[in-house]
Amino acid sequence: MTAPVRALVFDAYGTLFDPFAVKTRAEELFPGNGAALSQLWRAKQLEYSWLRTLMGRYENFWKITEDALVFSCRTLKLSCDEHQRKQLMQVYLTLPAFPEVKPALEKLSHLPLSILSNGTPEMLAPLVAANNMTRVFKNIFSVDTLQMYKPRPEVYQHAAASLGVPKEAIGFVSSNYWDIAGATSFGFRTYWLNRNSAIPDELGITPTAICSNLAELPRALT
C-alpha cells in the first residue's frame, strides 16, 4: 500500500503563477508581437537554465530571464531599450496566480505546502506577496541555494531534506512536464497539471496522476 502524501511541493512559474501574463505588457510595448515574444522568452529562459546547469555555469534566474528577453527581442527584431526591458522584467514580480489556485490551496491547507522554484528568493517573495499568499506557504525553496537548476536531482533532494519527510510521501505538483519527469525520476509522488492538453514527453517516465488543473488535486490525492 502506498504511504499517504504528508507534504506538497509546488513548482511556481506555469504551475501557480502564469508567466504568459507578460504577453499583455509585451503587446502594449510591441504591438502585434506580444504572443511571439512571451512564448520565445519563456522557451529561452528554460533553455538557458538547462544549458547553464549542464555547463556548470550558474547565473541566477533573474539574470537568465533578462538574458532570454534580450535574445528574444533581438530574434524578433524588436528594439527594446533598457526602460522597456525593465518594465517587462518587473511583470515577473507580479504575475497573477491561475484562477483556481487560491481556492484549491485552501482545500489543501491541512498539509504543509511549499514552493520549489528556479526563481530567486528575491523574485519569489514579492510574487507570492503580490498574490496574497505569503501565509499559504510554509517554505519557499529556491534552487539559488544550490546554484543549479531543475531537473537536477540535488534540487528535489534539497526540498525533501529540508522538509524532513521521506520523498515517497511528498507530492510534487508542476505543469511543466520536464519538471515532473525530474521529480518522478528523483522519487517524489508527482501530479502533472496539464492545463493545455499537452503531449507528455517521451522520456519513459510517468507521473503518479494527471490533473487538468489544481482544482482536481484534492481528489487526486485521496
* Of the residues 176, 184, 190, 208, which one makes contact with ligand 2OP according to CB under 6 A: 176
Q: Is 60 in the site for ligand 2OP (CB under 6 A)?
A: no
Q: Cβ closer to ligand 2OP: 13 or 156?
A: 13
| Nearest partner of 202 among 187, 181, 173, 171, judged by Cα | 181
Taking the C-alpha atoms of residue 192 and residue 93, their distance in angstroms, rounded to an integer, is 24
* Of the residues 119, 151, 171, 182, which one makes contact with ligand 2OP according to CB under 6 A: 119
Q: Evaluate whether 24 touches 88 at the Cβ level (below 8 Å).
A: no
Q: Is 114 in the site for ligand 2OP (CB under 6 A)?
A: no
User: Crossing angle, helix 34-55 and helix 22-29, to 10 degrees?
Assistant: 120
- Is residue 11 part of the annotated active site? The answer reads yes
Q: Is 18 in the site for ligand 2OP (CB under 6 A)?
A: no
Q: Is 158 in the site for ligand 2OP (CB under 6 A)?
A: no
CB of 119 to ligand 2OP, least distance (A): 6
Which residues are CB-contacts of 122 (< 8 A; sequence separation ≥ 6)? 62
Taking the C-alpha atoms of residue 172 and residue 185, their distance in angstroms, rounded to an integer, is 12
* Of the residues 5, 7, 9, 13, which one makes contact with ligand 2OP according to CB under 6 A: 13
Q: Is 184 in the site for ligand 2OP (CB under 6 A)?
A: no
H/E segment holding residue 39: helix 34-55
Q: Which three cell numbers stand for residue 127?
A: 510574487
Q: Is 144 in the site for ligand 2OP (CB under 6 A)?
A: no
* Of the residues 9, 14, 64, 73, which one makes contact with ligand 2OP according to CB under 6 A: 14
Q: Is 38 in the site for ligand 2OP (CB under 6 A)?
A: no
Segment near ligand 2OP (CB under 6 A); pick from 28-36, 77-85, 115-123, 208-216: 115-123
CB of 12 to ligand 2OP, least distance (A): 4
| Nearest partner of 204 among 184, 220, 188, judged by Cα | 184
Q: Is 11 in the site for ligand 2OP (CB under 6 A)?
A: yes
CA dist list (Å): 222 to 2, 7, 15, 182, 217:
11, 14, 21, 23, 9
Taking the C-alpha atoms of residue 91 and residue 95, their distance in angstroms, rounded to an integer, is 6
Q: Is 190 in the site for ligand 2OP (CB under 6 A)?
A: no
Residues assigned a catalytic role: 11
Which residues would be at the binding site for ligand 2OP (CB under 6 A)? 11-14, 117-119, 150, 176
